[in-house]
Structure 1
Amino acid sequence: MKYILTSFALVFGLSVIGQVTILEENFDAPTLPSTFTLIDNDGNTVANDVQEYTEAWIPKEDPMDSSNGTASSTSYFSPVDRADRWLITSQMTLGASGNFVSWNTMSHDPSFPDSYKVMVSTTGNSLSDFTDTLTVVSNETPYWSSHTESLEEYANETIYLAFVNTTYNGFKLYMDSLYVREQDPLSVADEKIEVAIYPNPTTDVLNLSAGNAKIESIQIFNSFGQKVLDKNTSSSQLSIDVNHLDKGIYFTLVKTDQGVSRSKIIVEN
């Protein structure tokens, strides 16, 4: 994981959106976390070119940055077959609201892209406990892609997350920057004001209405704390084009002449 991103996200979480970190794993250690569970459920024989994959997932150097560590799984077998390789997180208890998970993944070879699914268990970390599928990612890109999913359905519950390589005849899958967070807007002491933001979720345009207040600026941040939009204005109403934003969860910081407003929005491009 890049340290500059860590620092920025941490500052963002404390001073802008008041996020509470429930789980953070950057996979920079020489071994995967001992609290995680690894299960090779396919029993396949790895090909000669990937003999280092002695477990379902292993710590692996980022092929694009030798200073960065990742968790990696292979789907290259002899004979060719489908992967069923699980990385299961430690147990975690979510907050009352604003829960979400974010992570980065990448395929090694664009000619043999890897696919995977993310599952949730509210009971235990055995394979049979994972009955809910959070998302399915098919043919992951050969460069780092960011993913964010809401965990609101599981607020106040104790859960496990499983990342499962399900590829048929692929090569190598990498994962990094795994976070589970709870948004805690009440942790910020600024004077607050209600600003209506709609539609939410949105696909292209985001409308803001501040009533009698005058909007001075709006900033939008992604789940990694990176600012993706910064706009100044002087109006009680505003429409913003968000069609260029990737699908996912974002956070808004709206400053007005009467206070600030913070909200979570979902873009569904």
Structure 2
Amino acid sequence: MPFFDSPVRLAVQVQPQHAEYPAIRDTVLRLEELGVDVVFNWDHFFPLTGDPDGLHFEAWTMLGAWAEQTERIEFGTLVNCNSYRGADLQADMARTLDHISAKGGGTGRFIFGTGSGWFERDYDEYGYEFGTRGSRLNALADALPRIEARWAKLNPAPTRRIPVMIGGKGEQKTLRIVARHADIWHSFVAPDELRHKLDVLARWGDEVGRDVSEITVSNELDRAGHDVEHAEALFAAGVRLFTIGIGGPAYDLAPVRRWLAWRDAKNG
């Protein structure tokens, strides 16, 4: 499968919580200088860990600043919540970030990571209907064709085919959406479960007429027990985009340096 031939890439999710914005801005700059491939934030309105009412910032406006301040690194949300914004608006926002991030006559660097949403407090406090897991997934499935259609209509058009990253692992709905729309599939799936999920994804690919081997497989490295042995097992299963998360108020870059060394050894 082609993704087995792809180089390893390292992404860092800069959690937009428990820190003043200058610390976030400076961390993104340092990550680019270190040679990280991708930086992500997340699309929530409140902290997910620690003080639930602690410092927190909104995702998409932050991405506009990242697009302007960086030169090389790709960026996006891990992941956007489809529920908060209309599909056509999401498309236009993504296209605008694509253009802001295109430097020196090159193409944009925005990755459109998206999902159906899950954190009920976001919905309740900001006045969005939470619905059910199924209804939120159905809304995501309905939104993605509209987003793609809007990209084809916008003037100016995006500078490149904006990569779509979809998060989740559900076999009946999520992986079907991945097979139809995603360039990157992100999940927390363990190595011993990943082969089964990829088989399910391949079956959905057959049904929708898509060669899913062109989809980059993405996973995370910052959970308990995620050591080099775990990373190697994910790599052997086909993962090529690895993400670690770092949180405020002091964003520790030591783990980033360790995983960059591992990435470089794998790509040797």
Is the strand fraction higher in 1 or 2?
1
Is the helix fraction higher in 1 or 2?
2
Q: Which has the higher contact order (CA 8 A, sep 6+)?
A: 2
Q: Greater Rg, structure 1 or structure 2?
A: 1
